[in-house]
């Protein structure tokens, strides 16, 4: 599900930027045991976790981090918000997506940090603190959001697998920023009851995050029964890349080094690459605008009860109000175009197995020292190539590939598949990973 949403009115990013009224709204914001979080307002260490439980020796060796907008029985679900941390009772039961992990006695090592209410694509959280991007050097880079804590927990070795939510890219963008793998699942495949919603009717999903494809398969097997067997069957059916056709999308304003890295990754794996035309790229950009509209509207639909609460940041309140504007202006028209976009993708998948493009159009931006986070959020929304997939409901895989001549050594390849093609996507990811060596 969860998201990057904040997206307000991003429906038409450039025209909104010129609009004084909408621009103002955007800049204000800117897509066990009973436990109450310590209310110091700061998560410890690299701030990957809001709550951390060290793994027990001799237990299940797989360590799982759970994004803190997913209910765990007996634990307060903060959704990254001071208001919920202070005022919400512990969850009375687990979210459905934890059922397999509980049955297998997987060690849940913590509730992972996130952007407040899962709405900021940068991963910034002013109350619990922003998780630390593992590629930080002299610059403080965004970790990507909203599943920022899940990505940092995996990248830093504090968890083997993490569950994130993806509404507009909230699994894939932090995976891209932190150099790990993230899988956005088919809309409706994984139950989302017990998850703090944003736009559940059209966008919200749950997916696994891990350092490599093998661990991501393990994570997916914790979300869908029998997935490991489906993946093994896909590997047996298509053991080599030469039998897989990849539709290659190119979009304007992408760093040429990142485009080159994607092309090199596909070539080294040995896929059949089929360029997709400019007409498809234009349809992609419209789907991005429409997906951002739905995600922005979701902030109002799901979170409007928090717009006057003390303990909710002013930026989040502004995003909620921007969502109200999206609902009243462009939401219905965007929903009406969803079927056409889904049909477009179905037609493309008659000729290719998967679609490839960068997950984000540049390396992760820096967190501005003057904390003009509103401008940063708008910038990240423009950089990400993710929400068009949510708008269709299809699955997508983000995985790290080498990036040469850059201070950040990795960028991210995004592979998009037909509905319910998660096993095939991970097999394709395996072939990319094998092409580069691990």
Return d(Cα 193, Cα 368) in angstroms, integer: 36
Nearest to 316 by CA among 25, 2, 15: 25
H or E stretch including 108? Answer: strand 107-112
Q: Which of 67, 211, 283, 289 is catalytic?
A: 67
Nearest to 173 by CA among 411, 409, 424: 411
Catalytic residue check, 67: yes
H or E stretch including 174? Answer: helix 172-178
Return d(Cα 438, Cα 181) in angstroms, integer: 13
Cα 119–132–317 angle (5° rounding)?
25
Written as six digits, the tokens of 103 are 């049955």
C-alpha torsion 120→123→126→130, nearest 10: 180
Catalytic residue check, 170: yes
Assess contact for 63 and 161: CB atoms under 8 A: yes
Q: Which of 146, 147, 313, 362 is catalytic?
A: 146
Cβ count near 29 (within 10 Å): 26
The DSSP 8-state label assigned to residue 243 in this structure reads G
Q: Which of 31, 115, 147, 170 is catalytic?
A: 170
Q: Is 207 in a helix, a strand, or coil?
A: strand
Return d(Cα 212, Cα 400) in angstroms, integer: 9
Written as six digits, the tokens of 127 are 């109350």
Written as six digits, the tokens of 426 are 């991970």
Within 8 A by CB and 6+ apart from 224, the residues are 189, 190, 422
Return d(Cα 394, Cα 110) in angstroms, integer: 29
Catalytic residue check, 146: yes
| Catalytic residue IDs | 67, 146, 170
């Amino acid at each position: 599900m969860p998201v990057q949403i904040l997206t307000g009115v991003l429906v038409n990013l450039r025209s909104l930027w010129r609009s004084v009224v909408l621009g103002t709204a955007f800049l204000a914001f800117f897509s066990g045991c009973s436990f109450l979080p310590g209310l110091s307002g700061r998560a410890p260490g690299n701030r990957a976790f809001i709550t951390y439980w060290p793994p027990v020796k001799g237990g299940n060796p797989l360590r799982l981090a759970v994004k803190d907008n997913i209910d765990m029985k007996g634990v307060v679900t903060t959704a990254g918000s001071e208001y919920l941390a202070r005022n919400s009772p512990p969850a009375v039961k687990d979210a459905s997506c934890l059922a397999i992990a509980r049955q297998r006695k997987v060690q849940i090592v913590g509730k992972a940090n996130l952007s407040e209410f899962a709405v900021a694509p940068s991963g910034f959280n002013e109350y619990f603190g922003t998780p630390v991007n593992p590629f930080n050097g002299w610059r403080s880079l965004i970790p990507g959001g909203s599943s920022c804590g899940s990505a940092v927990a995996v990248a830093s070795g504090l968890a083997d697998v993490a569950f994130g939510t993806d509404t507009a890219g909230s699994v894939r963008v932090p995976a891209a920023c932190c150099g790990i793998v993230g899988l956005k699942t088919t809309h409706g495949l994984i139950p989302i009851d017990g998850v703090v919603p944003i736009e559940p009717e059209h966008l919200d999903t749950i997916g696994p995050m891990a350092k490599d494809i093998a661990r991501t398969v393990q994570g997916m097997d914790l979300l869908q029964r029998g997935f490991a067997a489906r993946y093994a069957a896909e590997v047996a059916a298509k053991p080599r890349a030469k039998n897989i056709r990849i539709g290659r999308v190119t979009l304007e304003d992408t760093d040429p080094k990142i485009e080159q890295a994607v092309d090199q990754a596909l070539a080294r794996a040995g896929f059949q690459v089929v360029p997709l035309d400019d007409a498809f790229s234009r349809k992609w950009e419209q789907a991005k605008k429409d997906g951002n509209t739905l995600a922005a509207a979701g902030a109002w639909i799901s979170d409007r009860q928090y717009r006057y609460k003390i303990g909710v940041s002013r930026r989040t309140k502004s995003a909620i109000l921007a969502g109200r504007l999206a609902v009243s202006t462009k939401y219905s028209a965007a929903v009406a175009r969803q079927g056409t976009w889904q049909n477009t993708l179905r037609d493309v998948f008659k000729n290719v197995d998967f679609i490839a493009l960068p997950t984000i159009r540049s390396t992760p931006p820096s967190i501005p020292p003057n904390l003009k986070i509103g401008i940063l959020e708008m910038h990240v929304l423009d950089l990400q190539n993710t929400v068009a997939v949510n708008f269709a409901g299809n699955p997508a895989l983000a995985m790290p590939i080498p990036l040469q001549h850059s201070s950040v050594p990795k960028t991210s390849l995004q592979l998009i598949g037909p509905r319910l093609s998660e096993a095939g996507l991970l097999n394709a990811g395996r072939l990319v990973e094998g092409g580069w060596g691990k």
